[in-house]
Structure 1
Amino acid sequence: MDFETIYRTYKHLLFSVGYRMLGSVSDAEDMVQDLFTSLKTLDTDNISNLKSYLVKMMTNRCLNYLKSASKQREIYVGAWLPEPLITTNDHDSMGQVVQDETISYAFLVLLQELSSVERAVFVLREVLGYEYGEVAEMLNKTEINCRKIYSRAKVKVNQGKERNLGELGETEPLVKKFLHAVHTGNFKDFVSLLTDDAVLISDGDGKRRTALKTIFGKQRILALFEGIAAKGSLQGNWLPMLNNSQIGLVLVKDQIADIVICFDMDENRLQANQVFKMMNPDKLQHISSVLGCHKSSDLFVL
């Protein structure tokens, strides 16, 4: 198989591994490119199972990266959230990978709470469907050890209220109510679609002024949005978008993504129990570049 065919065949699979492991679009893309650069020097014809070999390479690169980046995470200012991934209305293959493998933004947040090894085992076993023996070979561990790691990760995920990706439009009422609230200044109807114990998590890494701690309860969330709206911080062009295969919102100012908001629904899928607010400019660069490369009709819904 020639190099270009290998690249087209496996780049999206490898990105999906990297994105889940790292929680970063840009880092996952860089990792994929670096992997294929190194692959040019290898004789792939002598590799018996190229797919597993590439996934192993990607997984181990991610583990090494996370180990080196652990200190940066420790000094991160406020909550750390994954980088949102915009998908398009057309048949964007990168977006299709994410949707087909059923991962919501909230589930991605949950994955980041696992240790790097737990995350690797969970992604390889639960998401990609590899057998324990294959996972053990990829991570240079015993099969028994991998079973124990997976079991431990599964318990943590279940405690975090594991759920499958819901229907695409289940967050649409929240988006519409939020857009109405931004225009009127009245957020009560929007907050009525949150559970009483809903939480709001913001990520600004100290580069933007935002809540450093989680906001608990819909009344406090109401007070927060009313306060920042009164200061004019929500002014701009709010647009509904496909974020990790769910409808969310992006605030665009001068063609640059300024804020991204997305939601996680409760088990009844009638109200949201989590609101995620991304304001870290470093994690919005990818979205800004996507905004400039696509027609608005390809990106925005409703």
Structure 2
Amino acid sequence: MEELYDQYKALLFTLAYQLTGSAADAEDAVQDVFVKAYDVHPERLAEPKAYLCKMVTNHCLNQLKSARKKREIYVGPWLPEPIRTPEEDTIETTVVRFDLLSYAMLVLLERLTPTERAIFVLREALGFDYSEIADLIGKREANCRKLMSRAKNKMGVSENESVRADGDEKEWISRFLMSLEHGNIDHLLSLLTEDVTFIADGGGKAQAYKRPIQTRDHVASVLLDGFQTIQGKFHFEPAPLNGEIGFVIRSGDEILAAICIQLRHGKLARMYAVRNPDKLARV
């Protein structure tokens, strides 16, 4: 069992993180599955990858069903938990080799039902065949194909060439922070798309906007006002988040926010600010 854990823990964490959007819940899912697997007869583990993925999927589907009720009373927008991706070879760096673990993709996955999300992740991120997916989630193969098509339509994947940041994010962030520091509204506006959206998640535990901020002028105004309020009090620094460059806001050793960005043709299309302290443990 120790060998199976070493071999499959990264894969199972990937699956659970994509299904739940929470690194903490993903770790709990993997631990719970291996605890239960100790009591499984060896014959049932003849194909361990499929069996363990099925256990993790079922665990996460049950978790998602209960989580959706909690999110109905969540204060403000709910965003996935970001993870820092250090250079050394860790479980996080293994996870983000999959393109679909970009933060923007995790946000899009929130549009799906738990079953649609499971099918999409198993197919697109982990490369399972539809016949395998059908066995894993207990549905007919034809139904899995239909749900996959529905999931893509909900996410708008066919219309998006990429949901990853495109271009030199670190250089862009440098120019972005400089425009805020100097209060240069014209330069800031030039870095934003017309339909830019800013979403903040405070979860009722940290100050954050309770609704998405949209349009270039509105977002620019909010960002400038916010920066001027906290300038000199906190430290801004680039940080590798979910395999891309974002930045964090610090007060001493304490991280107050993690900012994930999505660029489109060199301009900011989406900005996600995670302020809920419960979601900053892995940042």
Q: Scaled by the length of structure 1, what TM-score is found? A: 0.87
Give the corresponding residue for 2:54.
56
Q: Does 1:15 align with 2:13?
A: yes
State how 1:46-85 maps to structure 2 within 5 Å. Answer: 46-85=44-83
Unaligned 5+ segments in structure 1 are 288-302
C-alpha distance 164-5 of structure 1, shift in aligned 2 (>3 A): farther
CA deviation profile, 1:193-234 (whole Å, cap 9, x unmatched)? 111111111111122221111111121111111212232277
Task: Summarize deviations over 1:1-45 as a string: whole Å, max 9, x none.
Answer: xx2211111011111111111011111111111111111222335
User: 2: distance between equivalents of 1:254 and 1:35?
Assistant: 38
* Alignment correspondent of 1:275: 271
SS of the residue 2:96 aligns to: helix
1:35 correspondence with 2:33: yes
- The range that moved more, 18-27 or 160-169, is 160-169
Q: Could you list the per-position Cα deviations for residues 240-281 of structure 1 after superposition, in whole angstroms to 9, with x for gaps in the alignment?
A: 111111100011223121011111122xx3212111111111
Deviant stretches of 4+, over 4 Å: 165-169
Q: Is the 8 A contact 2:238 2:247 kept in 1?
A: yes
- C-alpha distance in 1 between matches for 2:238 and 2:85: 12
Cross-structure match for 2:128: 130
Give the root-mean-square deviation of aligned CA atoms: 2.0
Contact 1:76 1:205 in 2 (8 A): yes
Q: 1:219 aligns with which of 217, 220, 227?
A: 217
**8 Å contact from structure 2 (residues 165, 263) kept in 1:** no
Structure-2 change in CA distance of 1:154 and 1:91 (3 Å) = same
**1:285 equivalenced with 2:281 (yes/no):** yes
Aligned residue type for 1:107: M
Matching residue within 233, 236, 244 for 1:235: 233
Query: 2: distance between equivalents of 1:79 and 1:238?
Result: 23
SS in 1 for 2:31: helix
1:34-183 aligned at under 5 Å gives the runs 34-158=32-156, 161-164=159-162, 166=164, 170-183=168-181
Q: Distance in 2 between matches of 1:174 and 1:125?
A: 33
Matched residue SS, 2:256? strand
Does the 8 Å contact 2:82/2:103 carry over to 1? yes
Deviates most, 91-100 or 9-18: 91-100
Shift of 1:183: 3.8
Q: CA deviation at 1:182?
A: 4.8
Q: What are the superposed Cα offsets for residues 136-169 of structure 1, whole Å, 9 maximum, x if unpaired?
A: 1111111111111111112222268444465785
For residue 196 of structure 1, give the secondary structure of its aligned residue in structure 2. strand
2:207 to 196, 209, 213: 209
TM-score normalized by the length of structure 2? 0.92
Distance 1:279 1:187, change over 3 A: farther
Provide the secondary structure at the position in 2 that maps to 1:239: strand
Whole-Å Cα distance in 1 between the matches of residues 183 and 249 of structure 2? Answer: 16
Residue identity opposite 1:28 in structure 2:
A
Secondary structure, in 3 states, of the residue corresponding to 1:275?
Answer: strand
1:165-201 Cα offsets, whole Å, 9 max, x none, are 6578532233112332454344543442111111111
How many pairs are equivalent? 283
- 1:51/1:250 Cα in 2 relative to 1: closer, same or farther (>3 Å)? same
> Percent of aligned positions with the same letter in both sequences?
38
- Secondary structure at the aligned position of 1:55 is classed as helix
Retained in 1: the 8 A contact 2:169–2:246? yes
Change (3 A) 1:234 1:156: farther
Deviates more, 1:69-78 or 1:234-243: 234-243
Is the contact between residue 228 and residue 234 of structure 1 (CA under 8 Å) also seen in structure 2?
no
| Native 8 Å contact 1:56 1:138 kept in 2 | yes
Q: For the structure 1 residues 225 and 166, does the alpha-carbon distance in structure 2 shift closer, same or farther, using more than 3 Å as the test?
A: closer
Structure 2 gap segments, 5+ residues each: none
* Kept after mapping to 2: 8 A contact 1:79/1:201: yes
Distance between the aligned counterparts of 2:227 and 2:198, measured in 1?
16
